[in-house]
């Protein structure tokens, strides 16, 4: 199974343990793009809604396209009661949006699964003149809060992290938006903090695509080692998060 489809096998775990983005990021995005009633928005690959609620609650005409059947069903369970909520179960790469046009197209750690030569031109076509492309992701640091725990976790990974298929993302370059006709490209950063106990940390690690493909017995040994490491260091692991927001505009 290709990595971008594997999350669909764990919708409940994904919903419970994947991190959300800080309120300050959404306040900034909504103000920047002028999102509210009368504005049409498209979210790419919402998963189970880690970046959905603040945008949906503006009263905008919210649309999403989700590759995973189970993730899409989870989204309908959570948001189907909102009249302004619409979701399509399909692949953005091949889906025909017809004449639809959007004031905002945004991605929360999704667009990197789409080749740049498809993502940037297709989104540019879907945006109204002056419309906004927003791309967000989270970078996490658990070394600074506890270096001893960090070093112990690295030992566990060295011994037991043996995935059958290597994760090779990282070829998507957000700053290349300017090369595809977008203007006013910029990067904004916001900070957050997460704390987990050993059990929560292992469940969170279980939502990483490259961890999900580790064969047994390595997978069990890895997760047991991670759990033991956190328990040995006070049963608490802290993440200092940097929420990154990339913004670009379609020219008027």
Q: What is the pTM of this model?
A: 0.93
Calculate mean pLDDT across residues 235-244: 98
CA distance linking residue 211 with residue 186, whole number of Å: 32
Q: What is the pLDDT of residue 63?
A: 98
- CA dist list (Å): 74 to 8, 105, 109, 204: 10, 21, 18, 18
pLDDT over 70 for what percent of the chain?
98
Q: What is the pLDDT of residue 248?
A: 98
Q: What is the pLDDT of residue 2?
A: 72
Tens digits of residue pLDDT in 59-72: 999 999 999 999 99
Q: What is the pLDDT of residue 164?
A: 79
CA distance linking residue 62 with residue 211, whole number of Å: 32
Calculate mean pLDDT across residues 216-245: 97
Q: What is the pLDDT of residue 5?
A: 83
Neighbour order of strands in the sheet with 40-44? 85-89, 61-66, 40-44, 102-108, 127-141, 237-249, 183-196
Q: What is the DSSP code (8-state) at residue 141?
A: E
> In the predicted model, what is the mean pLDDT of the chain?
95
Token pair of 19 as six digits: 């991190």
Tens digits of residue pLDDT in 97-119: 999 999 999 999 999 999 999 99
pLDDT band at residue 127 using 50, 70 and 90 as cut-offs: very high
Whether 1 shows a pLDDT value over 60: the answer reads no
Q: Which residues face 127 on adjacent strands?
A: 102
Which sequence spans correspond to the domains of the chain? 3-138+168-193+240-249
Q: What is the DSSP code (8-state) at residue 180?
A: G
Tens digits of residue pLDDT in 167-222: 666 689 999 999 999 999 999 999 999 999 999 999 999 999 899 989 999 999 99
Class at the top of the CATH hierarchy for domain 3-138+168-193+240-249: alpha beta
Q: What is the pLDDT of residue 235?
A: 98
- CA dist list (Å): 190 to 20, 26, 31, 114, 154: 13, 10, 15, 25, 27
Give the DSSP H or E segment for 127: strand 127-141
CA distance linking residue 49 with residue 9, whole number of Å: 16
């Amino acid at each position: 199974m290709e990595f971008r489809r594997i999350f669909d096998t764990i919708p409940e775990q994904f919903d419970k343990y994947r991190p959300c983005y800080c309120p300050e990021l959404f306040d900034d995005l909504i103000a920047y793009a002028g999102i509210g009633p009368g504005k049409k928005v498209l979210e790419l690959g919402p998963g189970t809604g880690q970046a959905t609620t603040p945008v949906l609650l503006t009263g905008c005409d919210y649309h999403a396209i989700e590759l995973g059947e189970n993730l899409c069903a989870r989204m309908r369970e959570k948001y189907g009661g909102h009249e302004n909520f619409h979701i399509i179960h399909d692949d953005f790469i091949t889906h025909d949006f017809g004449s639809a046009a959007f004031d905002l197209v945004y991605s929360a750690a999704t667009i990197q699964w789409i080749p740049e030569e498809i993502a940037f031109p297709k989104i540019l076509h879907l945006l109204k003149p002056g419309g906004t492309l927003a791309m967000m992701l989270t970078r996490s640091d658990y070394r600074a809060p506890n270096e001893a725990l960090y070093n112990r976790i690295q030992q566990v990974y060295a011994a037991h992290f043996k995935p059958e298929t290597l994760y090779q993302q990282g070829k998507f370059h957000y700053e290349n938006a300017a090369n595809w006709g977008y203007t006013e490209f910029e990067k904004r950063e916001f900070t957050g903090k997460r704390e987990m106990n050993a059990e929560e940390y292992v469940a969170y690690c279980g939502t990483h695509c490259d961890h999900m493909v580790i064969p047994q017995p390595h997978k069990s040994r890895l997760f047991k080692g991670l759990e033991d490491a956190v328990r040995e260091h006070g049963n608490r692991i802290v993440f200092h998060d940097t929420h990154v927001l990339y913004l670009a505009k379609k020219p008027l």
